[in-house]
Structure 1
Amino acid sequence: MGNGSSFDASKSVFLEIEDSVERIVFSLHSSTRDIQELICQAAKVNKFCEITLRNSDGAYVTVSPTIPQNTESNPYIVEIKPATATSLTTLQLTELLSGLATVHNLDQLSSQLVSHSSAATVPTLIDRITILEKRMEKEGLKSVEIEKCKKSIDGIRSQIYEAQKKFIYHSMLSGEHAMIPEIQSSYRRHAVLPHYTKYTLSKETIEYLKQPTFDIWHWEPNEMLSLLEHMYHELGLVKEFNINGVTLKKWLLCIQENYRNNPFHNFRHCFCVTQMMYGMIHLCKLHEHIAKEDIGILITACICHDLDHPGYNNTYQINAKTELAIRYNDISPLENHHCAVAFQILSNPETNIFANCDQETFKRIRTGMTSLILATDMARHGEILEVFKANCKNDGFKLSNEEHLISVGSASCQQHKHQKEVFSIIQL
């Protein structure tokens, strides 16, 4: 696109310079002075020389971006007059040098030019212009580097701001605490989430969704949102927790917004883990053995388990002494952060799907979700599997045993890196 645009905005003309035909190309946005300097360059003369163009009929042609195009067989004749004091006076050169030096903060050079201007000749001043141009070029390179640094800093600031803006605090939205007006308005705008298209799911899709072999790669983000919404309706969670339909949509959109665009720990990964749990629920018929409240906790924990993942693991967080590692004392910093973000979202009435639950129920939900999300720390994977094996050692695995179910829930929340082990658990 860039090359095409440049080509469309350029013009070429042919010039006869001392019995030699030369072709110059310039932008339609060039100034007259730019074109004159280009002609001087083609003629290999000083750029302050006077340039005159004539056509084949001897008529003068204006040197400007609107100059008519010609052909190689009919070039413009270039007449060149060397720069003289009459064409470019010493005063003009001195003003030019002094002005440029002042603009670019070259105070020392500026004072020298003014002090010697009276005795300077045109060639001497032209040499000084050349020196000044070189100085300006060096200063310009420094300015480019400074601008690059400024842009990098602005980019980092924007990333930090966007990351912080994702957390929707009820206190900020409701104005319970004093805030800077600009920040408060930005949180309010962020709280107004867009709607997503509600898809009508076919019977084949509904049945396929219940399989652990469901292929997650063929679905767009809006389709994944609709599938997650369907899970809450199909499992009876909307009725169990008296969830408002609009609130459920807003909550899912907010969840999607708070997953970063990481190569792995992104919203599609959230959907993958949740769908695996959904498939396990149906394959093992967990709804026949445990309460819907516990199923709701499992599904919701899966959806929230990697919220705002920065893309670097706990080992990095701890070794780099990041803010998360310091905040959580090197104890599962990422998992603690995911959990905190989940409940920050739920603290906003507009995205609190458990708003209609009583205090005791919400306390159980919070305890269960926290336990499951913290269990996704891979450093605890071996420990959790050992607990599961110990619980099953004597009598074997039993769905009626609450400890066994808790172990399965904890292990399955880690399935995103150990799917084979989860399938072996399912086969039990």
Structure 2
Amino acid sequence: MMYLLASRQNDGKKLNPRRDVPSYPKYTLSQETIEALKKPTFDVWHWEHNEMLSCLEYMYHDLGLVKEFNMNPITLKRWLLGIQENYRSNPFHNFRHCFCVSQMMYGMINLCNLPEKMTLTDMGILMTAAVCHDLDHPGYNNTYQINARTELAVRYNDISPLENHHCAVAFQILSLPECNIFANVELEAYKQIRQAIITLILATDMARHGEILDSFKHKVDSFDFTNEEHVTCLKMVLIKCCDISNEVRPTEVAEPWVDCLLEEYFMQSDREKTEGLPVAPFMDRDKVTKPTAQIGFIKFVLIPMFETVMKLFPQIEEIMVQPLRDSRDHYEELKQIDDAMTEVGHLFSLNITLSLVNQIPIPIFPS
């Protein structure tokens, strides 16, 4: 690895760059890819790491962030490599998830015409927070960290331990001169950028979902882009949307992410059972199915949040909100099928039991 983290539990290693300057193979983006990158329909599964790095690099150039912050383009490359190498190989919280969230942010920036309403500094904060938002995620959520009394939970006093850790790792990487994309930004401006990025990454803690969405709902009907508090709240909601936006994507792109998330959940719940810790029903492999995992989340978290954003940006309805409604309907149909199959199974089991008791032939299906 190019960078080794002091934060990784019990290894005691420092974040040190290699002496040589690694580079990822240059991938030239086709015009088709450039246009696709701006849309939520972008298929995130067909890309190698070096290609995703090139796409992220392109986004920073295309949005004018390299020019705005006077970034050294080589430093941008090194920073992106440092980012990629500090995402772990978890089933879900990995570098491809980082790319998904960043690509959706880039898409929303374009779809909502944000550069016409907000500053380039805001664009840089949104993109950089998206890229960094899950750095060094260990694959076990905040509930586990707190219940297991991990090093991270102790360090951050049980307050958003993972999100605080992602922030710390992000700024560890930026503290390296060869990775500091904000090296040419004046000190006061950098302090404001740093604080804004921290605010956005901390906003991705789902424990704060209701609080943040309620705050935005109170502002959206009289939203003022010249009001700093309003804009900060919008940025918090935007990164939240992007972080949990997989169901906005086409089914063939979105559904594999459900499998990845459930795999990570099951790893955690298995460990919790082994360690005698509480297990959340939605993470228990004996209690959850794909439809039950998704229906409530889509109906009560995703759709209400995106529909609130739609009040400010009506153009997202067709390309973002409608796919969520379609996804809800898809999983409700699957649940009906699952329920019907379960009922048939129960009836069949009952027939077997009755047949054994009465010693009569077992029918294949209930009559």
Instruction: Tell me how far apart the structure 2 counterparts of residues 353 and 271 of structure 1 sit (CA, whole Å).
Output: 18
User: Aligned match of 1:409 in 235, 239, 249?
Assistant: 235
Gap change, CA 1:163 and 1:321, over 3 Å in 2: farther
Structure with more helix by fraction? 2
Q: How does 1:26-37 map to 2 (within 5 A)?
A: none
Q: CA RMSD in A?
A: 2.3
Instruction: Tell me how far apart the structure 1 counterparts of residues 168 and 2 of structure 2 sit (CA, whole Å).
Output: 14
User: Aligned match of 2:44 in 211, 216, 222?
Assistant: 216
Does residue 196 of structure 2 align to residue 368 of structure 1?
yes
> Shift of residue 404 of structure 1?
3.4
Gap change, CA 1:216 and 1:290, over 3 Å in 2: same
Aligned partner of 2:340 in structure 1 is none
Gap change, CA 1:269 and 1:193, over 3 Å in 2: farther
Question: Higher RCO, 1 or 2 (CA under 8 Å, sep at least 6)?
Answer: 2
Gap change, CA 1:188 and 1:426, over 3 Å in 2: closer
Q: For the Cα contact (< 8 Å) 2:101–2:131, is it kept in 1?
A: yes
Aligned partner of 2:61 in structure 1 is 233
TM-score (norm 2): 0.64
> Shift of residue 403 of structure 1?
3.4
Q: For the Cα contact (< 8 Å) 2:87–2:94, is it kept in 1?
A: yes
Task: Return the letter of the residue paired with 2:238.
Answer: S
> Shift of residue 400 of structure 1?
5.0
Q: For the Cα contact (< 8 Å) 1:260–1:267, is it kept in 2?
A: yes
Gap change, CA 1:298 and 1:188, over 3 Å in 2: closer
> Shift of residue 267 of structure 1?
0.2
Aligned partner of 1:187 in structure 2 is 16
> Shift of residue 188 of structure 1?
4.7
Does residue 84 of structure 2 align to residue 256 of structure 1?
yes
> Shift of residue 202 of structure 1?
1.5
TM-score (norm 1): 0.55
Does residue 55 of structure 2 align to residue 196 of structure 1?
no
Q: Which ranges in structure 2 are unaligned for 5 or more consecutive residues?
A: 8-12, 249-301, 312-367
Gap change, CA 1:425 and 1:216, over 3 Å in 2: farther
Q: For the Cα contact (< 8 Å) 2:2–2:17, is it kept in 1?
A: no
Aligned residues: 249
> Shift of residue 214 of structure 1?
1.6
Structure with more strand by fraction? 1
Aligned partner of 2:307 in structure 1 is 424
Task: Return the letter of the residue paired with 1:404.
Answer: H
Instruction: Tell me how far apart the structure 2 counterparts of residues 399 and 188 of structure 1 sit (CA, whole Å).
Output: 40
> Shift of residue 424 of structure 1?
2.7
User: Aligned match of 2:93 in 265, 270, 276?
Assistant: 265
SS of the equivalent of 2:240 reads coil
Does residue 5 of structure 2 align to residue 166 of structure 1?
yes
Q: For the Cα contact (< 8 Å) 1:237–1:296, is it kept in 2?
A: yes
SS of the equivalent of 1:187 reads coil
Instruction: Tell me how far apart the structure 1 counterparts of residues 194 and 122 of structure 2 sit (CA, whole Å).
Output: 11
Greater Rg by CA: 1
Identity among equivalent pairs (%): 63
> Shift of residue 372 of structure 1?
0.4
Shifted more, 191-200 versus 225-234: the winner is 191-200
Instruction: Tell me how far apart the structure 2 counterparts of residues 164 and 276 of structure 1 sit (CA, whole Å).
Output: 26
Aligned partner of 2:270 in structure 1 is none
Aligned partner of 1:343 in structure 2 is 171
Q: How does 1:119-130 map to 2 (within 5 A)?
A: none
Q: Which ranges in structure 1 are unaligned for 5 or more consecutive residues?
A: 1-161, 169-182
